Structure 1
Amino acid sequence: MRETPLSNCERLFLLKAIESKKRLDGRQTYDYRSIKISFGTDYGCCSVNLGKTRVLAQVSCELVPPKDSRPTEGIIFLNLELSPMASPAFQTNRQSELLVTLNRQLERCLRNSRCIDTESLCVVSGEKVWQIRVDVHVLNHDGNLMDAASIAAISALCHFKRPDVAIQGRDVTVFGPAERDPVPLSIYHMPVCVSFAFFQQGTYLLVDPCEKEELIMDGLLVMAMNKHREICSIQSSGGIMLLKEQVLRCSKIASVKVSEITELINKALENDRQARKEGGKFGFVESMPKERITALKREESLVEMTDVQETADQIISKAAAGHEVVPSPVIVATGTGQVGEGLQNTWGLDEEDEEEESGTKVEKKRVEVISDSEEEDVVILD
């Protein structure tokens, strides 16, 4: 199923709003939508809400033989999936252009930036290494999937812990969480993607475009950066040529946004770590509003009762007032009516009925039946 295109009126309205430095959701030009990061019960499961865009990331690991070219390094595998649940425009088991682009950008952001120490994932050189697999699922699509996917992936990697191992000669023993505490990954830095949408051939710039803004944009610039202001990857798409000043301007904006997002990720990790340490409740259920899941009991709310009598008297006085007298309608024909002053009121009755109402006596005709035969009846009228 293809995307539903915007009408000319919607397109013109959005462009006029962008020219006036206004957006549909009330944000400013460089504002992000609200970001919510929550972790699951297991290590390595993270859900990110970027406005209405929602992405779920799951990290898993297994022991595999290393690559021949890198026998002492582990393997990082990234996979992003677009399901019809996120948007009707997505199709299952079909490699769309958007899916290929998102996967490549995610690989450049995380794997090619060397944010994870792959040598620490080596168990036995040339024989066994850890393969870290990151599966990113888009649950709802409302624009800017790349930023939400990068935040979810790096948050899940920071939250993930692999099982501890013991090596005796060529034998490798993997311990479960009950036997030994799992080991976190060695992460050097946290790259985060920031998307910039350009309109009117680069005249106007927006940060974190929503779905409708992406449909009318002329070009998109995705910049991956860490909090140390190091650019990990950069990619421009769309039929637009950017100037050097525009790219430098985007890099300055991205450095500020990445610092804020990195601080939010660290705060979410610390809150989850503190909740697990204290033995409290954690996971997706605790991150959701309780009243939206179930409402078995609510606190009693006080009701103001001081002016109840005055309000009741006002209602009774209004109800006791007489109704306004409206002139009777005038019927000019059967089934029709007309309201006016000085007109005769009639209701389309027959002349005989009108005469009866006015008091005039009308002589009734006497009917006498002299035959009861079913075939013919003889009637005499007087």
Structure 2
Amino acid sequence: MVKEFELSNNEKEFILKGIKEGLRLDNRDKNEFRAIGIIFGPEYGRSEVILGNTRVLAKVSCEVIRPYPDRPNEGMITLSTELSPMAFPNIEPGRPSEEEVLVSRILEKAIKRSRAIDTEGLCIVANEKVWSIRVDIHFLDHDGNIIDAACIAAISALAHFRRPDVTVIGEEVTIHPIEQRNPVPLSVLHMPICITFAFFEDGKYVVVDPTLQEEQIRQGDMTMTLNVHKELCTLSKAGGIPLEMETIIDCSRIATSKATWITEQIHSALEAEAKKLKF
């Protein structure tokens, strides 16, 4: 478990000097992600992502509810984040911190507003019954870049999730237990992947997937959300130093290749799990 701590001036200077010379404390290149581990199960829709020493758990659940009046043929997707005091010792339990609000907003834009899940496919009976899908995201260990780890965990869990099958005869709706009939996967239209950059020395130096120590000395950051189709779903930059257009374009090129690489990692993990469970 990684605890947040205040770096000394000497430590800050040492880390920054290394970044200027193209050296990072964990021996990564400036455009290199840490190793990603994705663990599924034991139930459908549970995904734990390990990004270096950062760990995030996502769990998907569902229930049948009435649809919104203005969207009678669409189901719902809800995202909920929980920052554990074990991973974030400075937070106040029961009160959302600025970091939690920021993470929630970015994930909401990345997954919900980009329409990653086919919500019309969640309709059971128009105006009457739809599936409500809920994604609970728990931050277990924080060693930097929790946004990217949370996004990978959430989209992996959604792709792994299976809802109960449903039979509709007239006005009668029967929800079949998983033990009686094979559950149904969600329709994932695309996989939005968050890629976060940290900036130093007025944007002169940029690193991808910053660690907690690098986050503590950065002057600004930016999160791009892309998919394998090279579509920019969202771009989030909450304050920090202004960036040149050239820097943003360079970051978009890096983010495109990283999003493709991470998507391949997710598909590989899903395929390995499918073989194990014989989906």
- Equivalent position of 1:196 in the other structure: 197
CA distance in 2, matches of 1:269, 1:209: 26
Post-superposition offset of 1:41: 1.5
- Equivalent position of 1:243 in the other structure: 244
- Equivalent position of 2:149 in the other structure: 148
CA distance in 2, matches of 1:115, 1:40: 22
Post-superposition offset of 1:4: 3.4
- Equivalent position of 1:379 in the other structure: none
Q: Is the 8 A contact 1:82 1:91 kept in 2?
A: no
Q: Deviations over 1:346-375 (max 9, x none)?
A: xxxxxxxxxxxxxxxxxxxxxxxxxxxxxx
More strand by share: 2
- Equivalent position of 2:171 in the other structure: 170
- Equivalent position of 2:226 in the other structure: 225
CA distance in 1, matches of 2:91, 2:215: 16
Question: Structure 1 residue 265 and structure 2 residue 266: aligned?
Answer: yes
Post-superposition offset of 1:3: 5.4
Post-superposition offset of 1:90: 2.8
TM-score (normalizing by structure 2): 0.97
Correspondences of 1:94-109 after superposition (within 5 Å): 94-109=95-110
Letter in 1 for 2:11: E
Question: Structure 1 residue 27 and structure 2 residue 43: aligned?
Answer: no
- Alignment length (residue pairs): 277
CA distance in 2, matches of 1:240, 1:69: 41
- Equivalent position of 2:87 in the other structure: 86
CA distance in 2, matches of 1:204, 1:247: 12
The two structures, once aligned, show a CA RMSD in angstroms of: 1.2
CA distance in 2, matches of 1:82, 1:239: 23
Q: Is the 8 A contact 1:71 1:126 kept in 2?
A: yes
Post-superposition offset of 1:87: 2.7
Post-superposition offset of 1:107: 0.4
Question: Structure 1 residue 187 and structure 2 residue 188: aligned?
Answer: yes
Correspondences of 1:200-219 after superposition (within 5 Å): 200-219=201-220
- Equivalent position of 2:57 in the other structure: 56
Post-superposition offset of 1:12: 1.1
CA distance in 2, matches of 1:13, 1:172: 64
- Equivalent position of 1:234 in the other structure: 235
- Equivalent position of 1:135 in the other structure: 136
Q: Deviations over 1:196-232 (max 9, x none)?
A: 0000110100000000100110010100000110000
CA distance in 2, matches of 1:266, 1:91: 37
Letter in 1 for 2:190: H
Question: Structure 1 residue 16 and structure 2 residue 4: aligned?
Answer: no
Letter in 2 for 1:76: I
Q: Is the 8 A contact 2:221 2:240 kept in 1?
A: no
Letter in 2 for 1:41: P
Which stretch shows the higher mean deviation, 88-97 or 199-208? 88-97
* Bigger radius of gyration: 1
Q: Deviations over 1:325-352 (max 9, x none)?
A: xxxxxxxxxxxxxxxxxxxxxxxxxxxx
Question: Structure 1 residue 76 and structure 2 residue 68: aligned?
Answer: no
Post-superposition offset of 1:238: 3.0
TM-score (normalizing by structure 1): 0.71
For the residue of structure 1 that corresponds to 2:275, the secondary structure is helix
- Equivalent position of 1:114 in the other structure: 115
CA distance in 2, matches of 1:248, 1:277: 42
Q: Is the 8 A contact 2:162 2:186 kept in 1?
A: yes
CA distance in 1, matches of 2:139, 2:118: 27
Q: Is the 8 A contact 1:218 1:238 kept in 2?
A: no
Q: Is the 8 A contact 2:77 2:134 kept in 1?
A: yes
CA distance in 2, matches of 1:142, 1:4: 11
- Equivalent position of 1:361 in the other structure: none
CA distance in 2, matches of 1:99, 1:233: 18
Unaligned runs of 5+ in 1: 279-382
CA distance in 2, matches of 1:239, 1:157: 32
For the residue of structure 2 that corresponds to 1:237, the secondary structure is coil
For the residue of structure 2 that corresponds to 1:54, the secondary structure is strand
The sequence identity of aligned pairs, in percent, is 51
- Equivalent position of 1:329 in the other structure: none
